[in-house]
């Protein structure tokens, strides 16, 4: 059950961060996609860098932490910048979509370090089997969210027209 508890803890932290920041899902979702792309490029080097800096000893946990950090870093930076939701329902939906997409991207790095036995292995296998579908839906939803985001109008813009 350790895997489930780790996933629940990660999910709660991601949801709360996205909900409190009020940022729209579109930009955060595409930032997660960029982070996942970078983590596949830097998969070997990120773990070496963390262990060379002495933050964690070399091993599978170091690689998992490094890859997870690379996946989440672009989105974490954008939690402080961008368009925001005005309604509580929008914030809940956006934070939920962000959390699901982030967990789908984190399945691969966490797979190498978490012990999988019993029910936890079955749950993790189910999540792993569905991750491509979740990622596909999440990226399409992120692009759609950005497409429908209206820019903020300033008073200066109103005076010009």
pLDDT for residue 62: 76
**Sequence-separated (6 or more) residues with CB below 8 Å from residue 26:** 83, 141, 142, 143, 144, 145, 146, 147, 149
* pLDDT (tens place) for every residue of the chain, 161 residues total: 566 777 789 889 999 999 999 888 989 999 999 999 988 887 777 777 777 777 767 777 777 788 888 899 999 998 888 788 888 998 999 999 999 999 999 888 877 777 777 777 777 788 888 889 999 999 999 999 888 877 766 666 555 55
pLDDT for residue 143: 93
Closest CA to 101 of 157, 25, 4, 156: 25
Q: Supply 15's token pair.
A: 């949801």
């Amino acid at each position: 059950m350790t895997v489930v508890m780790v996933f629940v803890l990660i999910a709660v932290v991601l949801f709360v961060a996205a909900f409190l920041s009020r940022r729209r899902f579109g930009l955060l979702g595409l930032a997660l996609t960029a982070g996942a792309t970078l983590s596949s490029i830097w998969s070997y080097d990120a773990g070496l860098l963390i262990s060379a800096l002495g933050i964690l000893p070399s091993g599978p946990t170091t690689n998992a932490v490094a890859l997870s950090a690379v996946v989440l870093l672009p989105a974490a930076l954008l939690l402080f910048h961008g368009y925001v939701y005005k309604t509580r329902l929008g914030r809940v939906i956006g934070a939920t979509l962000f959390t699901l997409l982030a967990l789908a991207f984190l399945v691969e790095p966490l797979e190498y370090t978490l012990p999988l036995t019993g029910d936890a292995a079955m749950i993790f296998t189910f999540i792993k089997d569905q991750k491509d579908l979740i990622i596909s839906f999440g990226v399409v939803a992120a692009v759609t969210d950005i497409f429908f985001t209206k820019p903020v109008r300033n008073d200066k813009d109103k005076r010009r027209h």
